[in-house]
Structure formats: structure tokens, C-alpha cells
């Protein structure tokens, strides 16, 4: 190609990459030069083929999926890694302020209570509601303490509720612990007191009888929001 207009300008013109004034100049030349028109046609054909190439890349779909899966796996892995480095200790992750070693102690205490109960067939009871307490007889299980000698706050940790089921009368106002016990749902209020009593005295229905054959151990932690209730089925142990 020997034209003064230059192949580079025609190449730019083929892709509309020339400013308007230069494009006009090329167009005037093309009108007179068949050689440059042929070059322009070939450039346009190549450009068209390139665009068709992009449209025919269906084989890339499978590769794209592979890439996507790899990237997602990598991202997930990095997210998990980042999360694991941010995870607080187990006791904090549970949302309780109680350290994990106290949970362990509580579990040991609960196990000890269970062992005592299995060996003696008796268990410490949570308090009964007043109307039941009035009708029930005290059932001594563990050495009773005076009602007003509740364990001090410092010793409440892993302590088992030691209160006896006793008539309300003459015992003074209930302790805060008894109030906690009263908030329990009905099945949990059932106790060995009911279990040890002759059924005729309560005359429970079938459902109530089943409920009353369970026993509840209550474990108090130093966190007033955390109280552990251990429900024990007592059927068949007598």
C-alpha cells in the first residue's frame, strides 16, 4: 500500500476511532482509491470475525463454572478461617458470663446428686406451691437447714437447692429461691414429695400422675439468670 493516507488511518477508520475531521479526509480518499477500499474491506472482515469469535465461545461456559466453583470454595474457606479466628471462648459464645470451668463443676455436682439419688432413692425437692405444700407432709431427704439459713451468695455456686418441702405456715416469708421455684411450669413443680405420697391423697389424673413421678434437681449458679433443672424420671424406683 503506497497511498499517502496511510494504512494506520484506514485501520482506525474501520473501527470508527478517528476524529470526525480525519474520518472525512479518509472518506474522500477512499472514494478515489480502490486499493484502500480493498484494505478497508479486509480490515472490516477481520473485525467482524473477531466479534463472531466472542459469540462462539460457548465452550467457556463449562470452564466458567469450574472457575466459579473454585473461587467460591476459596472464599468460603477464607471466611471460615476468618470466623474461627474471631470466635470467642466457648463460655462467651454461649452468651453467659459464667466461665466454662463453672459449667464443668455444675455438671459434676449434678452427677453427684444423681449418684446420691440412685443410691438412696431419694432426692432433694424443689418447693411445692403453697396449696400443695399445705397438703403434703415434709419429706426429709438431705439434712435440713433452717429455712432462714440459706447458703450465702458466695456458696451458691454449684449448690443444690436444699430447701425442704414444708408447710408455709410458721416458716416466715419465702426466700427468693422459693420464688424462683414458683415460676417453674407445672411439670417441674412435681417432686418426690408427690412421688412418695400415696396417690389417693392427691387423686391425680393419669397425666398428673405421670408428671408427679418425675423428680427435679435444681442447681443454682452464681449467675441469677442461670439455673439448671435436672428432671429425673422416678418410675420403677421405690
Partner 1 sequence: MAEWALGMETSLGEADRTARVSLVSRAQQGDIAAFETLLRLHERRVLGTAYRLLGKLEDAQDAAQEVFLRMHSHLSSFDSDDRLVPWLYRVTVNVCYDLGRNRKLRGGAASLDLLREDSGFEVQSPQASPETESLEQERQRLVEQGLQVLSDRERAALILRDLEGLTADEVGNILGISGATIRSHIASARIKLRQFVKQRMGMKP
Interaction site with partner 1 (CB under 8 A):
7-9, 11-12, 14-15, 17, 39, 42-43, 45-47, 49-54, 56-57, 59-61, 63-64, 66-68, 70-72, 74-76, 79
Query: Measured between alpha carbons, how far is 65 from 51 in angstroms, rounded to an integer?
Result: 23
DSSP designation for 138: P
Query: Measured between alpha carbons, how far is 54 from 128 in angstroms, rounded to an integer?
Result: 81
> Minimum CB separation from partner 1 for residue 74, in Å?
6
> Minimum CB separation from partner 1 for residue 89, in Å?
23
Query: Measured between alpha carbons, how far is 72 from 90 in angstroms, rounded to an integer?
Result: 29
Comparison of 66 and 111: residue with beta carbon closer to partner 1: 66
Comparison of 11 and 171: residue with beta carbon closer to partner 1: 11
Comparison of 9 and 122: residue with beta carbon closer to partner 1: 9
> Minimum CB separation from partner 1 for residue 95, in Å?
22
Looking at the DSSP bridge assignments, the partners of residue 220 are 159, 227
| Distance, CA of 221 to chain centre | 23
> Minimum CB separation from partner 1 for residue 155, in Å?
46
Looking at the DSSP bridge assignments, the partners of residue 180 are none
C-beta separation of 126 from 181 below 8 A: yes
In order, the DSSP letters of 168-217 are: STTS-SPPHHHHHHHTS-HHHH--HHHHHS-HHHH---HHHHHHHTEEEE
Comparison of 26 and 109: residue with beta carbon closer to partner 1: 26
> Minimum CB separation from partner 1 for residue 2, in Å?
13
Comparison of 26 and 193: residue with beta carbon closer to partner 1: 26
User: Which among 120, 218, 238 is positioned nearest to 163, based on CA atoms?
Assistant: 218
Amino acid at each position: 500500500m503506497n497511498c499517502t493516507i496511510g494504512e494506520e488511518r484506514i485501520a482506525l477508520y474501520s473501527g470508527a476511532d478517528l476524529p470526525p475531521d480525519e474520518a472525512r479526509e479518509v472518506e474522500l480518499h477512499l472514494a478515489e482509491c480502490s486499493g484502500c477500499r480493498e484494505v478497508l474491506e479486509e480490515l472490516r472482515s477481520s473485525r467482524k470475525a473477531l466479534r463472531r469469535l466472542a459469540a462462539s465461545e460457548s465452550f467457556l461456559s463449562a470452564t466458567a463454572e469450574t472457575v466459579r466453583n473454585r473461587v467460591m470454595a476459596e472464599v468460603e474457606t477464607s471466611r471460615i478461617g476468618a470466623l474461627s479466628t474471631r470466635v470467642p471462648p466457648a463460655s462467651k459464645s454461649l452468651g453467659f458470663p459464667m466461665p466454662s470451668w463453672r459449667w464443668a463443676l455444675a455438671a459434676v455436682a449434678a452427677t453427684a446428686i444423681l449418684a446420691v439419688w440412685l443410691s438412696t432413692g431419694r432426692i432433694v425437692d424443689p418447693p411445692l406451691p403453697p396449696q400443695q405444700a399445705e397438703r403434703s407432709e415434709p419429706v426429709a431427704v438431705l439434712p435440713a437447714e433452717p429455712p432462714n439459713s440459706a447458703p450465702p451468695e458466695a456458696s451458691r455456686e454449684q449448690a443444690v437447692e436444699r430447701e425442704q418441702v414444708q408447710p408455709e405456715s410458721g416458716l416466715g416469708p419465702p426466700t427468693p429461691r422459693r420464688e424462683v421455684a414458683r415460676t417453674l411450669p407445672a411439670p417441674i413443680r412435681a417432686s418426690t414429695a408427690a412421688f412418695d405420697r400415696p396417690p389417693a391423697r392427691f387423686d391425680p389424673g393419669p397425666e398428673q400422675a405421670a408428671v408427679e413421678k418425675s423428680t427435679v434437681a435444681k442447681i443454682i449458679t452464681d449467675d441469677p439468670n442461670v439455673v439448671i433443672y435436672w428432671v429425673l424420671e422416678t418410675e420403677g424406683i421405690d
